[in-house]
Amino acid sequence: MKNNFALSIIAILLFSFSASSLLAQRYENRYGDLEYRKWRLTLINPIGTNGIATPRYTAKYSINLLGGYHGGLNGLEIGTLYNYNKEYASGFQIAGLVNATSGYAEGVGLAGLINYAGSDLSGIQIAGFGNISKSNIEGLQAAGALNYASGDLSGLQGSFGANIARGDVEGAQISGLLNISQQTMSGLQITGGANVGLDNMEGLMISGVFNAAKGDASGLFITGGGNIASDNMEGLMISTLFNVSSEYSSGLMITGGLNYSRYQEGLMISAGANITQEMEGAQFGGFLNYATTATGLQVGIINIASEFEGASVGLLSLYGNGRKNFDVRYSDAGFTDIGITTGTHRVYNMAILGYNTSFDRNVYRFGLGVGLEKNINDSFRKIESEDLFVNQEFTVMHHFEEDWSKKTNLIFSYKYLIGNRFNSGLSLYGGPTYNIQVTRVNSANDYTWYSLWSPEWNGRKYRMWVGFTVGVRFFKQKNLPLLDDYDFEYGWD
């Protein structure tokens, strides 16, 4: 009885709406070739108020008890399974599975599976699987898997799978896996997988794996994997693994692994390595800075370039046009040091190993130094000589007795050394040094002959004194012109 009663009600409603079709009006300017009806009710085609003529009508209110196929929509449509409009859909659509149209769709579409448009899809679309358009998508799209546009994709897209456009992508894209554009990708992209632009990338891209662009990439890229551009990269790139540009990069590149670019201008910072064929700017590498030709600043454990102009700080700075010296030194308190001196002829680095010959116990030390070499006339205007030079040098030395120890036992020194270059392979030098000792080792007091001031604080002992250093330098050296005679950008040879 109940089922028969329900069917009777449906039949009455369908008959009522069929009767009202006699009052339908035609609005060709507003609805094209479609006829307008305010209401329509459909069980499943052709069982409904418009019968087999459903493709000829548009409506303001549309109810599809199972699913409906109609000409268009200009208002509200609700379907248990699907809503399909041949020409267009404009308004608010709710479907258990699919909202679809062969033409454009605009407004709000809520579907358990897919919102689909054969032309443009715009407005707010929320689907359990995907929002798909054979043309453009714009507005707010949220999908459990995919937002796809054969044309451009713009606005705010959120997907647990991918946001894909064969045209441009702009606005904000949020995906659990992938944002991809065959043309230009711009705006804000956030993904748990990758942001890929096969032409250009612009704006802010944040990815759990990588950001990639076949053409240009510019803006701010932050990724847990890598930033890759086959052509150019500009702006700020931050990665825990690597930033790569096969051609030109400029701006700031920061990575926990590798920065690579064929041509680099700006600042590279890496916990691993910075590698480029041509560099102008600054490189800070935790292990290695490498360039075929470089101008600017290199700071790393190892710095390498075939041609380098600028300043370097590191354990070894090996340049084809730079210095490669061997130094032997003696300083106050009996320390004899040997040093490997590399870098440019103007700014040099020194790796130092020493031993104290005056104690009845073994005291070793090792450390690093960085120095600046000048012509004697740069410091003393009344002295003119091509062979006399001045080295201003800063060193830090760690000391240990008998066996290796990491216990604090340091001497910081500033050295002002005057030398004479006898030929391209030999020079002698010497001068005063100002020293500060910082130690937790009680026996380290005899490293110094005296102290100008000896405070103690927080378990550390400090001693300050003026001493001396004399030394001899071997292998390739050259006379340097006056600093005032340079026509340079960075100020170093």
For the stretch 112-142, pLDDT in tens is 999 999 999 899 989 999 889 889 888 888 8
Is 316 among the domain residues? Answer: no
Domains contained in the chain, number: 2
SS3 assignment, position 171: strand
Is 261 among the domain residues? Answer: no
Alpha helices in 272-407 (DSSP H): 376-379
pLDDT at 340: 95
> Cis omega (within 30 of 0) on the bond before 481?
no
Q: What is the overall mean pLDDT for the chain?
A: 85
Report whether 251 contacts 238 (CB < 8 A).
no
pLDDT band, residue 420 (cuts 50/70/90): very high
For residue 118, how far is the Cα from the chain centroid? 37
Provide the domain limits for residue 11.
1-135
Is 310 among the domain residues? Answer: no
Sign, CA dihedral 110-111-112-118, equals: negative
Is 396 among the domain residues? Answer: yes
pLDDT at 234: 78
Dihedrals phi, psi of 135, to nearest 5 degrees: -125, -115
Number of H helices, E strands in the chain: 3, 38
pLDDT band, residue 30 (cuts 50/70/90): low
pLDDT at 436: 96
Q: Which stretch of 149-153, 285-289, 327-331 has the lowest confidence by average pLDDT?
A: 149-153
Question: Is the pLDDT reported for residue 28 higher than 50?
Answer: no
Question: Could you give the percent of the chain with pLDDT greater than 70?
Answer: 91
pLDDT at 393: 97
How crowded is residue 214: how many other Cβ atoms within 10 Å of its Cβ?
17
Is 280 among the domain residues? Answer: no
Give the tens place of pLDDT for each residue, 300-325: 999 999 999 888 888 888 998 899 99
pLDDT band, residue 25 (cuts 50/70/90): very low
Whole-angstrom distance, CA of residue 436 vs CA of residue 488: 35
The domain boundary, picked from 113, 135, 157, lies at 135
Residue 332's domain is classified under what CATH number? 2.40.160.20
pLDDT band, residue 11 (cuts 50/70/90): very low
Question: pLDDT higher for 83 or 25?
Answer: 83
Question: Is the pLDDT reported for residue 267 higher than 80?
Answer: yes
The domain boundary, picked from 135, 154, 177, lies at 135
Burial class (CB in 10 A: 0-12, 13-18, 19+), 432: middle
Is 287 among the domain residues? Answer: no
pLDDT at 31: 65
pLDDT band, residue 95 (cuts 50/70/90): very high
For the range 104-111, what are the long-range contacts, defined as Cβ-Cβ under 8 Å and sequence gap of 24 or more?
A: 104/135, 105/133
User: What is the 3-state composition of the chain as percent helix, strand, coil, each rounded to the nearest 5?
Assistant: 10, 65, 25
Question: Is the pLDDT reported for residue 26 higher than 70?
Answer: no
pLDDT at 486: 60
pLDDT at 368: 95
Closest CA to 395 of 371, 427, 363: 371
The domain boundary, picked from 101, 135, 169, lies at 135
Is 314 among the domain residues? Answer: no
Question: Is the pLDDT reported for residue 369 higher than 70?
Answer: yes
Is 48 among the domain residues? Answer: yes
Whole-angstrom distance, CA of residue 13 vs CA of residue 20: 11
